[in-house]
Amino acid sequence: MNKRFSIDSVLQKDRLIIGAGLAAIALVAWAYMWHEAQAMDRTGVCHCLGMKMAGPDSQAWSASELLPLFLMWAEMMVAMMVPSVAPTVLTFALVNRKRKEQERPYVPAAVFLGGYLAVWILFSAVVAISQWLLHGLALLSPAMVMTSPVVGPALLIGAGVFQFLSLKTRCLDHCRAPLSFLMSNWQEGWAGAFLMGIKHGAYCTGCCWLLMLLLFVAGVMNIWWVAAISLFVLIEKLGLPVQKWGGIALLVWGLWLLLKPMIHGL
């Protein structure tokens, strides 16, 4: 009985420590993002991790702007996705702690999290390059909002349709069942844990990538829009039935924006 109580106490302590660590990472990322958004509202300049990046304007960005732009997106993805991956990281830590009690190889949960975030950081690089190109084509407003009367609505409609596709559901199922994912994809060692994190990150990106592109619809640095998308992603992964309702809302919004000029012209 005492041994069992000791094991349960250790498991509970691990969950508290790891949960606190994840919360700290998310809070620091959100606080910094809030600071950058406020600074950009006041000055039109984003000081991304100590590097000045001029806000979108009529002038083309140089290649040197890509690094701070990438850092901005990477920090944003950490803020948005760490809360939603927390259940899987905590489950990974629980499984590993039980394996350690059985004198089997133990890997810190940070290794799994590192693999997961590596995928989103790669995604950040792709989106940063995309934003740099969109700015060069004058398709973004000073608030980093898509100015095209077609592209913005098309993103909303595309994201809405994607909510109903089987690919979205399959990826979301992996995100909603942490223990099932870990048991069916388990790999030993640090390298194995990192690769598991990459695989989980790939499923997560496959589930959420179009939702992240919606940041271009209401503003990349619009903190309330960022928070709304983050909350929707978290609710989806917790298993609440919002997938289809979210798709309907996005379709209606996109169609309205697309048809509004024609309706006003009647």
Condensed to tens digits (0 to 9), the pLDDT of residues 162-173 reads 999 999 999 999
Residue 51 has pLDDT above 50, yes or no: no
Share of the chain above pLDDT 70, in %: 85
pLDDT tens readout for residues 59-79: 666 777 788 889 999 999 999
Residue 154 has pLDDT above 60, yes or no: yes
Closest C-alpha among 132, 173, 152, 159 to residue 219: 152
Q: What contacts 24+ positions apart, CB below 8 Å, involve 156-159?
A: 156/214, 156/217, 156/250, 156/251, 156/253, 156/254, 156/257, 157/250, 157/251, 157/254, 157/255, 157/258, 158/210, 158/254, 159/210, 159/211, 159/213, 159/214, 159/247, 159/250, 159/254
pTM: 0.88
d(CA 174, CA 147): 35
Share of the chain above pLDDT 90, in %: 58
Residue 212 has pLDDT above 50, yes or no: yes
One-letter amino acid for residue 62 of the chain = S
pLDDT interval class at 140 (50, 70, 90): confident
What's the confidence (pLDDT) of residue 201?
97
Closest C-alpha among 156, 74, 170, 53 to residue 123: 74
Residue given tokens 């009985």 in the structure block: 1
Maximum CA extent, the chain: 78
Contacts of 69 (CB under 8 A, 6+ apart): 48, 53, 61, 128, 131, 132
Cα 147 → chain centroid: 24
Instruction: Compute the mean pLDDT over every residue in the chain, rounded to the nearest whole number.
Output: 86
Of 266 and 171, the structure prediction assigns the larger pLDDT to 171
Name 54's bridge partners.
45
What's the confidence (pLDDT) of residue 194?
97
Residue 183 has pLDDT above 50, yes or no: yes
pLDDT tens readout for residues 88-120: 999 999 988 887 777 777 889 999 999 999 999
Structure tokens belonging to residue 240: 């609440």
What's the confidence (pLDDT) of residue 101?
72
